[in-house]
Copies of this chain bind each other. A is one copy, B any other.
């Protein structure tokens, strides 16, 4: 492989060219934020229909295609990703020639649920009791330690509840293990949480840190359905403190999301996403600076924008179909985001941000919106 010279630091004046590994809706929203800032984009994505492909040059290739990664390295000033499950070896290889954020270490930690839990623990962040599982036999040993109910998950490549099985009795073990398809797994104690909350945090190449207000997440069928932002959320301080340790500990650059379970005694870290995150989409309309703009500012070493919330916000995902637009857009404080993807059951096709001046107005508008979406 040809080895281009390392790039000079990103200029403050010349518009920067950003390479993004992945060209789905997250890449698209990064590009929409970045084009407004004068940035240009090249995407690497195997799919010809990738939504973001229209917003820049699209290199259609596998995520670990060496030639494609080299192209990205040569033509871009800095590289980032919208998708964490790319081979760490590919990231390492790019990092020898160009800046890539987040880096190989953050990806390695986030890609393996065991490593991730160990990393949280090393930073003094509480996690649910867990055990590694690599056979039906070791699943038996693990469940003795963890107890019921518990969740068995693949260690790698899980998202939106895929590759997960709940264990409530010994009879559930064989079927749950079969679902793992012989892949290494993790057994986690099922936490009786009061809420699931997440924090979107960001750290720049200059070490500047910023934290958004935490969001409360509700899932349906393993997929994020709704995020509500409560100003002065009691979980803010602990979530921020955990995120700060993770960002600094990993020498992390860019936006990172951490999901927590809230229990009596505080927060238990569930998982992290080393990228812009669905539970931070509300920031497009509800915060002074969106997570997308701040991710770009962070990787370019530009000052971070304010993460202050404006009013009261909620976000509803549009899954499987985009409902008729007119009744949605007629509601006050509603911002539609349609990713332009082909409709398919269970697919995230868009989201709606709701911003209101009062908590009550936000709740009323969101309830009305839920009604419109459910029965268009």
Contact = CB atoms under 8 A, between A and B. Distances in A.
Interface of A: 12-13, 15, 28-29, 32, 35-38, 40, 54-56, 288-289, 297, 302-303, 305-306, 310, 322, 324-326, 329-330, 332-340, 350, 355
B305 A38 contact: no
Given A13-B324, A36-B338, A340-B38, A329 B355 contact: no
A78 to B, nearest CB: 14
20 contacts: A12-B324, A12-B325, A13-B324, A13-B325, A15-B340, A28-B35, A29-B36, A32-B36, A35-B54, A35-B55, A35-B340, A38-B350, A55-B55, A288-B333, A302-B325, A302-B326, A302-B329, A303-B329, A305-B329, A306-B333
B336 A37 contact: yes
Given A36-B337, A338-B37, A12 B54 contact: no
Contacts of A324: 12-13
Copies of the protein in its oligomer: 2
Contacts of A40: 340
A110 B306 CA distance: 41
A339 B38 contact: yes
Contacts of A302: 325-326, 329
Nearest to A300: B325
Nearest to A289: B335
Nearest to A29: B36
A13 B322 contact: yes
Contacts of A332: 306
A50 B134 CA distance: 57
Contact of A288 (B325, B339, B355): B355
Chain B CB within 10 Å — which of A35, A55, A302, A322 has the most?
Answer: A35
B330 A303 contact: yes
A94 B337 CA distance: 30
Contact of A35 (B15, B32, B355): B32
A326 B12 contact: yes
Given A54-B56, A303-B329, 16 more contacts: A13-B325, A15-B340, A29-B36, A32-B35, A32-B36, A35-B340, A36-B338, A37-B338, A38-B322, A288-B355, A289-B335, A302-B329, A303-B326, A305-B329, A306-B332, A306-B333
A181 B28 CA distance: 48
A325 B11 CA distance: 10
